[in-house]
Chain A
């Protein structure tokens, strides 16, 4: 979703030190002949720049900006089965989604709540596991590279493929799953059909699919901590747990905050795992997360206007999260 903290301080290629290009070239502001020459050069460069940027710009206009504004437009209209606007609808869809219309039907608010619940299940567990793996992956032994690749592996596996595998892991036909359920004295016969377990099961699978990414980022964060800090920590008697608690963890906080936001955003966008593992709203709508419910309004009910209003709501939520992330990254830059 955006540039990570590491970009500010990692290796050579993200070094923004050289000559920050965003600003206008101040050297061009000189007097006399140099001025006009530099000026004509800059206008010439504008022409070339437009040509170079044209392919990206055209694709962004056609597939990002115009659809985005059209989604906002559609959200204010009742639409027909082809997605054409039929009748202006004001902001009724928005008040319907947020249950401000006094109808008392709050299934969409509930859907947002389910998404938040899902996020709380996935994000903290995912971060804790990846910190544990990353700390483990910093030990200096042979073949550590192989282990790091293994810990990264889930990044190469699509959520759809993972969904097919985990659907079987959760299948009551598999003896292992049944054994674990018996061990936990669970009465449920099918994890994915039980209100109590369905959402947690999808969340657990999502922790696994996100593990590779979280591990890479956490490991990079730990490796960015200067080694001599640990050495001086050792002199002060900080080793093992103490050095983790008082050195690694505080210095890793910016990375963890970044992961927290990025994971929250991707949890809010989760769809594939729900469509593959559950395929409907789940038992008692317990797995009806927001993007799935957009999909249903859009795909099954062909309510393009209403589904557009829902996706604009999602956009606003994600935008707020993105700004929070930028603020946190800003703070970090000032501190360091």
Chain B
């Protein structure tokens, strides 16, 4: 186990060879792990380009890859485009809504001094304790009775406020020196203007974190859109893709092509916004 006595005996060249071998070993392990982690994605891509076969192979015949499937799937499922639009509209609206409501509430909690502050703090903390599953039935009854099934407001409004968002932004606002606020107020800067012109621009990293997180979570929602969409045109991508699977149960290449298409936006977002996302998840984690 102990390499110390051995390494004293070997000379510098051997050490360098050892280093290179170690590096190669690391790469091999990393590549193997990547292959395993990405296997489901490779698998779906491989099945998508194999053409309409009932007994797919693990690897496609590289001589005749069928990339038309990504166009064909839009012809086969006329609503796929609409589902993608729905998901974009809903995810963007929820993201903007959470940014607005969270920054306003977090500003009050972090910067202002007012009676009853602890009470409101615990009210917001309490929302984190109530799981979505415990409210879903009355929410469904309400939304149905308001005639909000198959509508953007039904898909968006229940998620506009976020306890996670409020605490994330509050934590960040607390790091911004209080003197800045005092000085701005003395200079005649109103409270709202301070938030808009000074605090929010300084808090871009935290806002970006919340935005990436909110978009990702909303795009990937399944349970709620499943409940409140009856009309196929109102489905979001996640509900649509599972419905599409049931209707094309034996057409593997179309199923996989549609799945890859709906996964692309969040995969791209991950690559672009990984830094923001990691920061958010390690700061305050909320998994829904």
Contacts and interface: CB of A to CB of B under 8 A. Distances in A.
A21 interface: yes
Nearest to A163: B242
B114 interface: yes
B1 A315 contact: no
Interface in A295-324: 298-299, 304, 307-308, 311-312, 314-315, 318-319, 322
Contacts of B33: 132-133, 136, 147, 151
A136 B30 contact: yes
A256 to B, nearest CB: 14
Nearest to B23: A141
Count class of interface residues, chain B: 35 or more
Contacts of A71: 134-135, 137-138
Contacts of A176: 58
Contacts of B245: 164, 167, 276
A195 B221 CA distance: 29
A157 B267 CA distance: 7
Contact of B278 (A15, A22, A220): A220
Contact of A55 (B100, B221, B241): B100
Contacts of A168: 43-44, 47, 252, 255-256
A1 B252 CA distance: 37
A304 B102 CA distance: 32
Interface string A7-24: 100111111101111111
Contacts of A144: 30
Contacts of A59: 101, 157-158, 160-161
A241 interface: yes
B219 A318 contact: no
B115 A155 contact: no
Contacts of A299: 227
B134 A156 contact: no
A197 interface: no
Contact of B222 (A14, A22, A28, A160): A160
Contacts of A4: 281-285
A132 B9 CA distance: 32
Contacts of A266: 287
Interface residues of A, number: 114
Contact of A16 (B114, B127, B174, B270): B174
Interface in B214-264: 216, 219-223, 226-227, 238-239, 241-242, 245, 252, 255-256, 259, 262-263
A167 B126 CA distance: 37
A131 interface: no
Contacts of A64: 127, 130, 135, 161
Nearest to B267: A156
Contacts of B283: 3-4, 6-7, 10, 13-14
B129 A158 contact: no
Given A14-B283, A158-B222, A53 B108 contact: yes
A234 B26 CA distance: 20
A156 B135 contact: no
Contacts of B277: 155, 216
Contacts of A132: 33
B38 to A, nearest CB: 6
Interface stretch (B10-18, B61-69, B70-78, B116-124): B116-124
A46 interface: yes
A11 B264 CA distance: 31
Interface in A140-181: 141, 144, 147, 149-169, 173-176
15 contacts: A16-B174, A46-B114, A53-B108, A59-B161, A63-B139, A67-B135, A67-B138, A149-B271, A154-B37, A158-B221, A173-B252, A175-B56, A217-B282, A269-B132, A311-B134
